[in-house]
Amino acid sequence: MSEKNSAPKTYLNHPNQWKLKALLEDLFTDPDPDHITEELKRFLQKYPIPIDDFPLTEGTYSRTILFRSNNGYEAMAARWSPGAISSIHGHPHFALIIVTKGGLGIDYFKKHDGRVEMTRSGFLSESQFFSDIGQAKTFDNHIHRVQAYEETLSIHISSDDAAKGETFG
């Protein structure tokens, strides 16, 4: 195991963690996707989150839950190893991804007749984000696949546990 992978610091002990939790608790009390997006972007400009505060797992990505509210909303940090690719997956009703360091390629899909078809590709660089409200309160909204072209840190907010998202072949 390389030194970079051993005993990572954790944002859970970061000096601004309580500020982030207080912000998220307030935002998730009466969730408005546009307000969540704007306030999180503002927070991250004022209080950058260091990429090295999260574990790096070669060939994939690590997930660190930053906050879960009683109404199901959650915030999660993902640290991506260069070349890591997620499965094709969906999310709950609301989803937000903001890149704080690095860059992510995203392929977007639509479900059609039980299959998924790619509709477009995009790229999120540092400080760019994607947010959307799905059609239904299911776990097959915002179907996408993510690829890290370089070491990347992204923050993900969803209206429920993102790990419940439906995956596709």
Q: Please state, in angstroms and as integers, the Cα–Cα distance from residue 87 to each residue in 22, 42, 45, 59, 82, following that order.
A: 32, 30, 30, 13, 16
Q: What is the pLDDT of residues 90-135, one digit of tens each?
A: 888 888 899 999 999 999 999 888 889 999 999 999 989 888 777 7
The residues, ordered by sequence, that sit 6+ positions from 108 with a Cβ below 8 Å of its Cβ are 118, 119, 120, 121, 122, 143, 144
pLDDT at 34 over 80: yes
In-domain check, residue 54: yes
Residues in the chain, total: 169
Report residue 7's pLDDT band, with 50, 70 and 90 as the boundaries.
very low
Answer yes or no: is 2 within a domain: no
What CA–CA distance (Å, rounded) separates 81 from 150?
7
Residue 98 lies inside a defined structural domain of this protein: yes
Does 4 map to a domain? no
Specify which residues 48 forms β-bridges with: none
Q: With respect to residue 6, please indicate whether it lies within any of the assigned structural domains.
A: no
Quick one: tokens of 83?
Answer: 């070349």
Residues 77 and 63: their CA atoms lie apart, in Å, by 6
Mean pLDDT of the chain, nearest integer: 86
Q: Does residue 3 belong to any structural domain of this protein?
A: no
Would residue 93 count as lying in a domain?
yes
The total number of structural domains that make up the chain: 1
Residue type, 45: Q
Stated pTM of the model: 0.85
Distances (CA, A) of 69 to 38, 73, 125, 151, 157: 19, 5, 28, 29, 11
89 part of a folded domain: yes
Domain containing residue 111: 11-168
Q: How would residue 12 be classed by pLDDT, with cut points 50, 70 and 90?
A: low
CA angle 6, 9, 15 (to 5 degrees): 175
Mean pLDDT of all residues in 72-101:
92
* Predicted pLDDT of residue 5: 41
In 10 A of CB 27, how many CB atoms? 23
